[in-house]
Structure 1
Amino acid sequence: MKKCQNIIVGIELSESAQQILERALEWAKRFGAKLHVVHAIEFTMSQRWDAFPLRFQEVKERLEAGAWEKLEGMLEALPDKEHLGKSFVRWGRPDTVLAKLADEVDADLCLVGKINRTALERAMVGSTSRRLIRQLALPILALAPDATDRLKQVVIPVDFSEASEAALRDGIACAKREGAKVHILHVYEFLSVMPMIELWTKEDIQKLNDEAKEMVQEQMDTFLQPFDLDGVDVEIHLNEGYVFDEIVRFVRGCEADLLVMGSIGRSGIQSVLLGNTAERVIHNAPCSLMIIKPEMTS
């Protein structure tokens, strides 16, 4: 990830949004960056303007005025505004609003909140998540509302792809800044891909599993060679299981503060972020999640 100077955050005007805004400001302080805040007013097709007794422009003005009033109240409640940049209220689908604002302020990082199933959260799940990831040529950080002020445990799942290299590079850099421990996790699906497993003896299965883990260890050693891990508290984990389930289980087990993943990878990690399992990871992992693309790093 290049030097971070401008960060954008999408905010829903809900009770939990104040926490997200405070966490976003903490990330801006970490990078010494400016935080630009936007609220998107999304008007779905099921809501018809002609159902309102007021004229279109009056409705729009009232909604905007109400949004501005609440947003300004949230900004005013922030204890430290040194890193606060511009604020916006925009009309449109959240992923589209965030993408346009990213270009407008030359953003280096996009933050969204992992709270309640609001419009901005839906920008990270389902079909909208794919649109947001495609549109934004910058890292995306889904913030947990109860995230700690300081990162202590950073988990980086890798599948030895280019996307994993990018995620590992940025994850290590982030951990170095915070003095956090790094857990590099590779999950290999062994039993699930064995043909007619019921015909194998326990001894045969154990032998094959040991051979598979040895092969994976060699892949991991080769993968890590270009990385400078000096001065970083790193632990390597080679776990057998289903990729998305094992990632969530591991993150919970080590009480991770941040999960860093590549957006495009081989095997299961690609489906975690771009397939139907995206929602499972985002909602079930209790920590913040950073999504990195290979072209984002420098």
Structure 2
Amino acid sequence: MKTERVLVHIDTAQVSDTLMQKIMILAQKKGTMIELFSCCYNQSLHRSYLFDDEAEKHAVAGYLHQAEAKLIRLAEQLEAQGGQVSYDVTWNRNVAEGLIRKALRYRADIVVFPIGRHSHGHYLFRQGDWQLIAQCPTPLLLIRDQQWAVHPRVAALVDPFHQCEEPQKLDNQVLKNSQVLSRLLVAEQHVVHSFATIPQAAIFDEHLTIDYAAMHEKVKQQHTDVLQAMVSKDVILHLEQGDVHAVIPALVKRENIDLLVMGSISRGFLDRFLVGSSVERIVGHVDCDFLLVKQPGFVSPITE
């Protein structure tokens, strides 16, 4: 993964100092270009001009002009700190669609998308956010409104036994992206894999039940061997036992992980409804940033 062209979605009504600080950290590499982008839509404005298309065009233009003025001020702040910054606005009621099309036109290396916390404590994802996660072909960095540590920790979540067509290629993408971010942030690099064995109560073979402990250790050793073969010796390995949606949030909290890199496999609605996915079961309940990476060869259904 390169980080030369960074596309940042900006909600002009919610821009925090933390977001600006993180943008500057991403822009610190020489030659990096930042594009601030705002995908705007106002339902009330649209309804006010249902029968006057010309008046609506003028109202939309005024709305976009105001949004652009806010982006200009943000760009000037970043440029004052040495960043190379441009900006753009568009009118589209579907934020995910507008942002993906912009990413394709801009040839973005990474898309940055801030997310907010719901009043009940978990992170709020709208339907459009899930569409962005599922269909964005570019590595997608989901940013919380909390600072990275002075010496951040980046963790790559891998699963060489994943039931996708080519799990090794997806894991390689996750590891490469994790390495790039670790170098950029001067971060401590972790690699995480979780596995679950069959509960003893669910085994009906008498011989396996008697030797359950040995079977468990054998499975654990197999996962350990595969994991060690995937990574270099200078990373910190974590082999966690249990369901991914339970052990990963606990690990993130225990190890003070700032950023979690994981694969994102695009799935149909029915598959997601029936079995969910690791992304959906983790990302809304963990207090760290996420970089979501697509499997090699992924083509978004959204085009320029």
Whether 1:186 aligns to 2:193 is: yes
Q: 1:278 to 1:214 in 2, by over 3 A?
A: closer
CA distance in 2, matches of 1:68, 1:261: 33
Match of 2:293? 292
The runs of at least 4 aligned residues of structure 1 exceeding 6 Å deviation read 51-54, 199-203
**Which SS does the other structure have where 2:215 is aligned?**
helix
Match of 2:240? 239
**Which SS does the other structure have where 1:55 is aligned?**
helix
Q: How many residue pairs are counted as aligned between the two chains?
A: 279
Deviation at 1:205, TM superposition (A): 4.4
8 Å CA contact retained: 1:25, 1:35: no
**Which SS does the other structure have where 1:295 is aligned?**
coil
CA offsets 1:274-298 (integer angstroms, 9 cap, x no match): 946645533322221111224389x
Q: Which amino acid aligns with 2:37?
A: V
Whether 1:27 aligns to 2:26 is: yes
CA offsets 1:148-195 (integer angstroms, 9 cap, x no match): 265531111110122112101221233244442222111012245962
CA distance in 2, matches of 1:31, 1:106: 18
8 Å CA contact retained: 2:148, 2:258: yes
8 Å CA contact retained: 2:7, 2:36: yes
Structure 2 unaligned regions, length at least 5: 161-166, 299-304
**Which SS does the other structure have where 1:35 is aligned?**
strand
8 Å CA contact retained: 1:147, 1:288: no
Deviation at 1:27, TM superposition (A): 0.6
Q: Which amino acid aligns with 2:174?
A: A
Residues 276-285 or 49-58, more deviating: 49-58
Normalising to structure 2: TM-score of the pair?
0.76
Whether 1:9 aligns to 2:8 is: yes
8 Å CA contact retained: 2:192, 2:237: yes
Whether 1:100 aligns to 2:101 is: yes
8 Å CA contact retained: 1:151, 1:258: no
CA offsets 1:80-111 (integer angstroms, 9 cap, x no match): 35323211121112212222222222211111
Deviation at 1:147, TM superposition (A): 2.5
Structure 1 unaligned regions, length at least 5: none
Match of 1:114? 115
Q: Which amino acid aligns with 1:37?
A: L
Q: Which amino acid aligns with 1:131?
A: Q
CA distance in 1, matches of 2:260, 2:285: 12
**Which SS does the other structure have where 1:291 is aligned?**
strand
8 Å CA contact retained: 1:109, 1:138: yes
8 Å CA contact retained: 2:262, 2:293: yes
Residue pairs, 1:170-181, within 5 angstroms: 170-181=177-188
Residue pairs, 1:1-298, within 5 angstroms: 1=1, 3-30=2-29, 32-44=31-43, 48-50=47-49, 55-78=55-78, 80-92=80-92, 93-116=94-117, 125=125, 127-129=127-129, 131-133=131-133, 135-148=135-148, 150-160=150-160, 161=167, 162-191=169-198, 195=202, 204-222=211-229, 224=230, 227=231, 229=232, 232=234, 234-264=235-265, 275=276, 278-295=279-296
CA offsets 1:108-144 (integer angstroms, 9 cap, x no match): 1111112246xxxx9x946534533454332111122
Q: 1:140 to 1:76 in 2, by over 3 A?
A: same
Deviation at 1:60, TM superposition (A): 1.3
- Between the two proteins, what is the percent identity of the paired residues? 19
Q: Which amino acid aligns with 1:283?
A: G
CA distance in 1, matches of 2:149, 2:194: 29
Deviation at 1:77, TM superposition (A): 3.9
**Which SS does the other structure have where 2:296 is aligned?**
helix
Residues 49-58 or 98-107, more deviating: 49-58
CA distance in 1, matches of 2:293, 2:184: 18
CA distance in 2, matches of 1:190, 1:126: 34
Normalising to structure 1: TM-score of the pair?
0.77
